[in-house]
Structure 1
Amino acid sequence: MRILGMISGTSHDGIDAAVVDFTPDGEVLRGRVGHTASTPYPAELRARLLAALPPAPVTLAEVCVLDTLIGQCFAEAAAAAIEAGGPVDLIVSHGQTVFHWVEGAHARGTLQIGQPAWIAERTGVPVLSDVRIRDITAGGHGAPLVSVLDNLLLGGLENGAAALNLGGISNMTVLRDGRLFAYDIGPANALIDAVVTARGLNPQGYDDGGAIAASGRVHPGLLEALLDEPYYRLAPPKSTGKELFHLGYVEDALAGLPKGEVSDADLVATLAELTVRTVAAEVRAAGVATLVVSGGGCRNPVVMDGLRAALPGVRVSTSDAYGAPADDKEAIAFALIGWLTAHGLPGTVPGGTGASAPRVLGTLTPGAGPLVLPAPVTVPPRSLVLAR
């Protein structure tokens, strides 16, 4: 079954897409990763999206407009992926998260926009969307859903492994002694991107190659203030997002320091070190021998070198070494969730999200013809092998 997975993550910069051809082989599910692509949002749309995100006030009218405009962007990205990579049987669209409602350490709701009907209309292919909410209704956080892929891909590694995603938010899946648990650690690129964008440090809106962080010095006082965030002391399962970690959060931390004491480069360096410190502390606590990193942050040498220095006894590599290109892993994960849903299998691991039980995920929008699903599978795969 050929499935196109699509997502725009918490960096809000564009749409990642991956076509995966899944073939069951006994207890193993084999996935051949075909066409992959990243489609940036038009600059005007990205600016409009960022202006609508928390803590900014926003009208329902603006949410409706963004739902359509983002849905149309996803539709064009899907059509381009099919043209380049060939026909697919199902499209899975995570859409764009604009709010993740957490109260009292419990997820209450989540909102992803990017109307899937635009994708179905443009491509004629059925679309699975709204994949997080069913887990939340079962008491989970709806995140990190990539843990279902981590479980199948890395579960056989000796002495425990952790899969780390460095997107806007850092999240980690820990596999050790036959157990799995996963949770959001804190900010990865979210605060850096917010500062780079607000201060005009790079028109692309991120610290390309970690160059800005490398030119600065960590400010100890600011780092100490940032590390005092209560979220870090919460026990898993837990989830977070830009509802907490946004530009105003950084500005509040800076307000306690003399004006001008922290340069732009020093601020970015400090935020990069915040990611290193928070992630390294969690990896050490997990007691694993292997750390497998994916997401845009793994292309930042300042962060990656910092993690290797902070974790001398841990093998640190990117997910490319396991068949999942680091820039495309989340899109591949949502393609996997699509395969599981299409075959009547749960797309969550309770330890990964905190849900009371596994759940089949998503809402289906029919394509141009009858909605035809494959025969249900009663025994889920025990492992996943990915190849190009």
Structure 2
Amino acid sequence: MKKNLIMGLMSGTSADGLSIALCEVSGRSLAVKAFGNYPYSAALQARLIAAKDLRAPELSALNFELGRLWAGMVKTFCRRHRVAYKSVAVIGSHGQTVWHAPGEKGHTLQIGEASFIAEETGRPVVCDFRPADMAAGGEGAPLIPFMDEYLFGRGCPVALQNIGGVGNIAFAGKGVKTFGFDTGPGNSLMDTAVAAITGGRLSYDKGGAWAAAGEPDLRKVYALLEAPFFSRRPPKSLDRSAYTLAFIKNNFPGQLNLRRSRDLLASLNLFTAASIAQAFGSFAPRGTRELIVSGGGALNPALMDNIAALLLPAGVRTRSIAELGIHPLAKEPACFALLAWLALAGERNHCPSATGARGPRVLGKIIRP
């Protein structure tokens, strides 16, 4: 069977950089051949997080600025890995989410003008995946469960947890109707706290060191899990705006300082872990005994330890997707490479049971050079 090279780009809700994955697809097999992560400056990250408050001219300018930046990053990636543009069949770009508000009259906006990528590479680019799902009555997210179904739908039941700015989980496997939903905070609260405490000198809790050194406020963590979102049945999705600096100030008053920083990070870390464990316990299909974690959260040992400890009593094994040969940060861009490949062929690239859409669709808009 012919093998094709495809490329995917992802800039997540953490707004900390662009991840690029070069994949080889053949039938239902997908392998990551090369991966790169290109960090943003602290100033750009702050602008992206605040982009929801921009006026139209400023947002339009940022859309084009990102497109140009990403085109340059794709050029750098291809040079480093000696990839000829003409060898890539298609490129998929999720874009940078500025706003996501699901619901009956919901709306969503991703920026990062993909025309610059098509112009740089001369290859077709597929972008703007969420609106077609929302037009069909879906939440517009999560979209990753399609890849989970594609890769894991024929094996034993498994849970696949991605931890980016927001956490999302999917369940797939033989005999399981694949579905997924957002679980709650991912890295966003932890990253926001570290940036605020250090005045922007640090952007995340490296290795989970602060969290590991602190004592979590168990009462507060489990009180936060009483919020209606966590008990609501899927499909359901969140935007990063649900978990901001204001959320931390309101729920952990007086802790945004170096003296209380370790305890605060321990609480926020446990909150993310407990929301994942609660989602698994409430909605995992019978016989699911494994949780495979991807995203930046998989690189946080304290977070992984918390998740594992919470799920171990139920006999559930927690491990990183790295054990399967996929870099934790490569899964999402690899997914959008796959979605783009299928969109270009006019084939279904959508899991409506994860988003609540009325039926399967072909997601994405195609830009041809």
Tell me the amino acid that sits aligned with residue 12 of structure 1. A
1:167 aligns with 2:157: no
**Number of equivalences:** 356
CA apart distance, 1:179? 1.4
Q: Give distance in 2, aligned partners of 1:76 and 1:311.
A: 42
Cα distance in 2 between the residues matched to 1:320 and 1:254: 34
Asked whether the 8 Å contact 1:107–1:140 carries over to 2, the reply is: no
Give the TM-score normalised by structure 1: 0.87
Contact 1:19 / 1:332 at 8 angstroms: preserved in 2? yes
Q: How does 1:211-230 map to 2 (within 5 A)?
A: 211-230=209-228
Tell me if structure 2 keeps the 8 A contact 1:219–1:262: no
Q: Which of residues 352, 355, 365 in structure 2 aligns to 1:353?
A: 355
Ranges of 4+ aligned residues in structure 1 off by more than 6 Å: 257-262
Q: Is 1:265 equivalent to 2:262 in the alignment?
A: yes
Unpaired runs of 5+ in structure 1?
368-388
Equivalence for 1:21: 24
8 Å CA contact retained: 1:139, 1:356: yes
SS in 1 for 2:15: coil
Q: 2:357 is aligned with what amino acid?
A: A
Of Structure 1 and Structure 2, the greater helix share is in: 2
Q: Which residue of 1 aligns with 2:73?
A: 77
Aligned to 2:136: 138
Gaps of 5+ in 2: none
- Greater Cα shift, 330-339 or 194-203: 194-203
| 1:171 counterpart SS class | strand
> What residue number does 1:156 align with?
154
Correspondence 1:6-155 to 2 at 5 A? 6-24=9-27, 29-53=28-52, 57-85=53-81, 86=83, 87=85, 88-103=88-103, 106=104, 108-155=106-153
* CA distance 1:258–1:130, shift in 2 (3 Å): closer
CA change 1:11–1:264 in 2 (3 A) is same
Q: Letter of the aligned partner of 2:251 in structure 1?
A: A
Aligned residues of 2:181 and 2:236 also touching (Cα < 8 A): yes
Name the structure 2 match of 1:337: 339
The answer to whether the Cα contact below 8 Å between 1:102 and 1:108 also exists between their aligned partners in 2 is: yes
Identity %: 36
Query: Shift in Å at residue 356 of structure 1?
Result: 0.9
Q: TM-score, structure 2 length as denominator?
A: 0.91
Distance 2:256 2:235 in 1: 38
Instruction: Write the distance in 2 (CA, Å) between the matches of 1:320 and 1:152.
Output: 18
How has the CA–CA distance of structure 1 residues 340 and 242 changed in structure 2, closer, same or farther, with 3 Å as cutoff?
same
Distance 2:359 2:109 in 1: 22
* Partner SS for 1:12: coil
Instruction: Provide the aligned C-alpha RMSD in A.
Output: 2.0
Q: Return the alpha-carbon distance in structure 2 between the equivalents of residues 261 and 93 of structure 1.
A: 38
The residue type paired with residue 213 of structure 1 is A
Q: What are the Cα deviations for residues 38-80 of structure 1, in whole angstroms up to 9, with x where unaligned?
A: 0011333222222334xxx321122112111111111111112
* CA shift digits 1:14-47 (9 cap, x unpaired): 00000112122xxxx2233222100011333222
Contact 1:90 1:127 in 2 (8 A): yes
Contact 2:255–2:261, Cα closer than 8 Å, also in 1: no
Name the structure 2 match of 1:290: 290
Counterpart for residue 320 of structure 2 = 318
Q: Secondary structure at the match of 1:348?
A: coil
1:147-195 CA-to-partner distances (Å, cap 9, x unmatched) read: 111112222332x211000111110001263311100010010111111
**2:242 aligned counterpart, secondary structure:** coil
Whether contact under 8 Å (1:107, 1:141) holds in the other structure is no
Looking at structure 1, the residues matched to 105 and 131 of structure 2 have their Cα atoms a distance apart, in angstroms, of 10
> 1:202-241 residue pairs with structure 2 within 5 A?
203-241=201-239
